[in-house]
Amino acid sequence: MRVKGVNSMATFSAHTIFIPECGCQIWLGDQRNGYGRVFINNKRMLAHRASWQLTYGELPKNMCVLHKCDVGLCVNPAHLFLGTRKDNMIDMDNKNRRKAGVGERHRKAKLTNAQVLKIRASGKTPNQLAEEFGMHPSTIRMIKKHLIWRHL
CATH number of the domain enclosing 15: 3.90.75
Are 15 and 82 in a shared domain? Answer: yes
Question: 66: closest CA among 51, 86, 47, 83?
Answer: 83
Are 123 and 67 in a shared domain? Answer: no
CB 54 within 8 A of CB 15: no
Are 68 and 137 in a shared domain? Answer: no
pLDDT tens profile 76-91: 999 999 999 999 989 9
pLDDT tens profile 16-73: 999 999 999 999 999 998 999 998 777 889 999 999 988 998 899 999 999 999 999 9
